[in-house]
Amino acid sequence: MRVFLLLVAFELSWAQYNPNTKPGRTSIVHLFEWRWADIALECERYLAPNGFGGVQISPPNENLVITNPWRPWWERYQPISYKLCSRSGNENEFKDMVTRCNNVGVYIYVDAVVNHMCGAAAGSGTHSTCGSYFNSETHDFPAVPYSGWDFNDWKCKTGSGEIENYGDPYQVRDCRLVSLLDLALEKDYVRSKVAEYMNHLIDIGVAGFRIDASKHMWPGDMKAFLDKLKNLSTTWFAEGTRPFIFQEVIDLGGEAIKASDYYGNGRVTEFKYGAKLGTVIRKWSGEKMAYLKNWGEGWGFMPSDKAVVFVDNHDNQRGHGAGGSAILTFWDSRQYKMAVGFMLAHPYGFTRVMSSFRWPRYFENGKDINDWVGPPSNGDGSTKSVTINPDTTCGNDWVCEHRWRQIRNMVIFRNVVDGQPFTNWWDNNSNQVAFGRGNKGFIVFNNDDWNMSETLQTGLPAGTYCDVISGQKEGNGCSGIKIQVNGDGTAYFQISNSAEDPFVAIHVDAKL
């Protein structure tokens, strides 16, 4: 009996690490600031047919409206209530999105902002996305309701009430992060309100949560509200399925709070991943791709089964958060495609692809003074819809990296090689590297400043394969480079350092 109980506890405590994506769908995409109506369409017309497992959405709850004179993206990280009412749409549109995406096997992951409410200086009134009244001075949020008793001010020991020193874990978790009113998650009442919000989303059919600012909450307080969560809806998920949990903890090393503090609650965002990969692909600090041979735990990253990985996210693509100027983004598209390609080919971690909007990036003294600009919007402040061009790219300043051929085809590559080991590593001790995934796929990079011409062991069955970077298999033909794999598994690769994309990827589903 004792053994049985332990086994059950073990299984339950493991469930929240499972992304809950359908078998054979191994990545999610962050459709940053997209409207629910557009996400529903994208699930049906693009994500499901191309093997995407899910979508991380922007916070769906009511938030502060900031107009100065345009609306910043970060207003959505200033909650006013847990009503499902935001720039992305209302509750009916939210339900329609979840239903339609789930029905085509693409699941929804909610960005849950539960560490705090709006900034202390937000004032009072009804300038919120649903028009709910609030007063930041008296800490009154009647639409939840929260009152002055539900915040941490008494607990914070700094003079300013703000986090002043990241070396002190009490400050990081009990004080205000950039003036945001810090919820008292040690109170069962607050935990219950947070769980009620998340359970409402589970009832609608979401598959899991990114938990914003997890570093600023005590892991035990988080566990307390996570333990109150329901199992996922049996309309779409097997009975007893726990919500996928991944926690935003920025840990680049050298701080009091470590990503490992949070493993007990679910997966954690591995911020070292994009910072290091950007440095390598840019060839900064003496890094080179040959060093990627032991990428993953060998680089001091968290265990693969705890990690959510990404090349860039909505914060660090615009200089917020972590990683600084090493982070690769769509603005550096050639190197970005190589980095995303490497990530999707490599077995480490659970992968998230970024999908951005273009903003009027403008540097003054090394800082982007427009890093705050919100999504493409109409004159009345409403978010512009995502239009699709005849060539399948997006209009209205939506970047849609997930629709770039190279990235979309590598999402498919990852699905094809799922479960296969990391094999046949090769490098030239510089920036030409290659590796395989068992007998299912092989990828080759030339990030050196000279041409590459090598015969390599691919591990693949003999045949003619279509490179999914320069093109793809179309019917019985190939719109890209063809690669001939010989009977002994070797193949000849020639990659010009000036190629539009200096990498080649082949897999068994792109065999001609």
Ligand X SMILES: *[C@@H]1O[C@H](CO)[C@@H](O)[C@H](O)[C@H]1NC(C)=O
Task: Determine if 430 is a binding residue for ligand X (CB under 6 A).
Answer: yes
- Tell me which of 160, 496, 500, 512 binds ligand X, using CB under 6 A: 496
Three-class DSSP category at 386: coil
Instruction: Between 11 and 255, name the residue whose CB sits nearer to ligand X.
Output: 11
Distance between CA atoms of 132 and 144, rounded to whole angstroms?
10
Q: What torsion do the CA atoms of 22, 113, 329, 437 make, to the nearest 10 degrees?
A: -30
Is residue 248 part of the annotated active site? The answer reads yes
Q: 280 near 338, Cβ under 8 Å?
A: no
Q: Any bridge partners for residue 503, and if so which?
A: 445
- Tell me which of 44, 91, 168, 454 binds ligand X, using CB under 6 A: 454
Q: Return the range that interacts with ligand X (CB under 6 A); candidates 26-34, 72-80, 394-402, 447-455.
A: 447-455
Three-class DSSP category at 354: strand
What are the Cα distances from residue 249, in Å, to 64, 172, 266, 291? 24, 12, 12, 26
Instruction: Between 156 and 198, name the residue whose CB sits nearer to ligand X.
Output: 198
Given the residues 38, 111, 212, 501, the one annotated as active site: 212
Two structure tokens written together for 81? 């209530």
Task: Determine if 240 is a binding residue for ligand X (CB under 6 A).
Answer: yes
- Tell me which of 152, 432, 447, 458 binds ligand X, using CB under 6 A: 432
- Tell me which of 50, 158, 428, 439 binds ligand X, using CB under 6 A: 428
Task: Determine if 239 is a binding residue for ligand X (CB under 6 A).
Answer: yes
Residue positions counted in the chain = 512
Instruction: Between 230 and 511, name the residue whose CB sits nearer to ligand X.
Output: 230
Q: Return the range that interacts with ligand X (CB under 6 A); candidates 69-77, 322-330, 356-364, 450-458.
A: 450-458
Q: 222 near 195, Cβ under 8 Å?
A: no
Two structure tokens written together for 258? 């470590």
With 0-12 / 13-18 / 19 or more C-beta atoms within 10 angstroms meaning exposed / middle / buried, residue 498 is: exposed
Task: Determine if 452 is a binding residue for ligand X (CB under 6 A).
Answer: yes
Task: Determine if 378 is a binding residue for ligand X (CB under 6 A).
Answer: no
Where in 255-274 is the site for ligand X (CB under 6 A)? none
Instruction: Between 96 and 454, name the residue whose CB sits nearer to ligand X.
Output: 454
Q: Return the range that interacts with ligand X (CB under 6 A); candidates 148-156, 251-259, 429-437, 468-476.
A: 429-437
Instruction: Between 182 and 448, name the residue whose CB sits nearer to ligand X.
Output: 448
Q: How far apart are the first and last CA of the chain?
A: 56
Is residue 182 part of the annotated active site? The answer reads no
The Cβ-side half-sphere exposure at 144, using a 13 Å CA radius, reads 30
Phi, psi of 94 (to 5 degrees): -65, -50
Nearest to 176 by CA among 213, 209, 146, 149: 213
Give the total of residues touching ligand X (CB under 6 A). Answer: 14
Instruction: Between 365 and 429, name the residue whose CB sits nearer to ligand X.
Output: 429
Task: Determine if 230 is a binding residue for ligand X (CB under 6 A).
Answer: yes
| Binding residues for ligand X (CB under 6 A) | 230-231, 239-240, 428-430, 432, 448, 451-454, 496
Catalytic residue annotation: 212, 248
